[in-house]
Amino acid sequence: MPTTPQLLNSAQVARFVAQGFLRLDGVVPAEMNAEALEAFAAGLPSVPYGTPVPKAFPEGSLARRLVELPAVAGALESLVGPGPEVDHHALHIREPREGSAQPLHADALIDLRPDAFDVQLMYYPQEVTADMGGTLVVPGTHLRRVNESDTGRYQNLRGQTRLTCPAGTVMLLHHGIWHGGRRNDSDTVRHMYKIRFNPTVPQVRLWDTADLDAPAVREELARSFPWCEQATARLEILNRVRLWRVLSGDPDFDIEHWATRIDNRPAAQRSTA
């Protein structure tokens, strides 16, 4: 039985906008993790692109119970809203002593949407240790316009996170984030179950907005990342400001007056008046 979803607050959503992912450690109960490993061995049912969640995952199914866990449901609703569609789901298995890592990539094809994003859920039913080759994620890369594995040349970037986590951890990622499955140097098979969600409503103020004007929101959005070059770090923040304006419904939101300054075109406004 679903319970009330635990919506994110504004600072958490701002962190997602800046970092491109949200991590929920150990939110899935141990018995579900054990069940998942058994279910994964049997394979996943086919889900056509764009299937609503209730149809893709029947009530009582493992995937349905996973996305209805209060912490997961609240975070998903805060980011993609109610009634998302399942784009696709897939099981990623990294075999023991596997010879190679995935190249650093963004999923799917280059995506130009300025006012929407998909969310990818990654679920780890078992503990992931350092040598198991957990997912590599580069925080803050999701707004870069790159296509799929064109970023494969970059092996390591400062500030990258090499996932280690307790069993039952869920990550929610912006579809554009640079990531890859690392080489599994352990003797243990590693499982990761992924679901991609498409929003069906405008992604505007879907979270608990009580703290919308809190200083923490600005602090999160103004963050810089150690992989980012000096000049483009400012552009990253500018692009985040533009996304936050969409998500918050506040067309005047700014950091350091950057967007306001370059939007200021008195002559153009006079000519169209």
Partner 1 sequence: MTLPNTVRQQVLVLYLDTSALDSWVRGWARYDGTGTTRPTTGDSDEPPYETGVAALQDGWRLFQASQLVPPYPGAEHETSFLKHEFFFERLVDGAEGAG
- Kindly list the residues in this chain that would bind partner 1 in the complex (CB under 8 A): 99-104, 136, 143-146, 150-158, 160, 162, 180, 182-183, 226-232, 235-236, 238-239
Q: What's the angle, vertex CA 142, arms to CA 136 and CA 143, rounded to 5?
A: 160
Q: What is the per-residue burial (b if ≥16 Cβ within 10 Å, else e) of 111-130?
A: beeeeebbbbbbbbbbbbee
40 versus 154: smaller Cβ distance to partner 1: 154
Question: Around Cβ 256, how many Cβ atoms within 10 Å?
Answer: 13
Question: Could you give the CA distance from residue 75 to residue 67 in angstroms, rounded to a whole number?
Answer: 10
* Residue in 64, 117, 114 with CA at minimum distance from that of residue 89: 64
53 versus 106: smaller Cβ distance to partner 1: 106
* Residue in 196, 224, 69 with CA at minimum distance from that of residue 140: 224
Q: Residue 157 Cβ, how far from partner 1 at the closest point, in Å?
A: 4
The pair of three-digit structure tokens given for residue 58, joined into one six-digit string: 């029947």
Question: Could you give the CA distance from residue 186 to residue 5 in angstroms, rounded to a whole number?
Answer: 36
45 versus 114: smaller Cβ distance to partner 1: 114
12 versus 151: smaller Cβ distance to partner 1: 151
Q: Residue 146 Cβ, how far from partner 1 at the closest point, in Å?
A: 6
Q: Residue 232 Cβ, how far from partner 1 at the closest point, in Å?
A: 5
3 versus 155: smaller Cβ distance to partner 1: 155
140 versus 168: smaller Cβ distance to partner 1: 140
Q: Residue 260 Cβ, how far from partner 1 at the closest point, in Å?
A: 14
Q: Residue 237 Cβ, how far from partner 1 at the closest point, in Å?
A: 10
Q: Residue 32 Cβ, how far from partner 1 at the closest point, in Å?
A: 28
Q: Residue 170 Cβ, how far from partner 1 at the closest point, in Å?
A: 21
155 versus 264: smaller Cβ distance to partner 1: 155
Question: Could you give the CA distance from residue 89 to residue 69 in angstroms, rounded to a whole number?
Answer: 18
Amino acid letter for position 187: D
- List the beta bridge partners of residue 121: 172, 195
User: How would you write 47-96 as a 3-class SS string?
Assistant: CCCCEEHHHHCCCCCHHHHHHCCHHHHHHHHHHHCCCCEEEEEEEEEECC
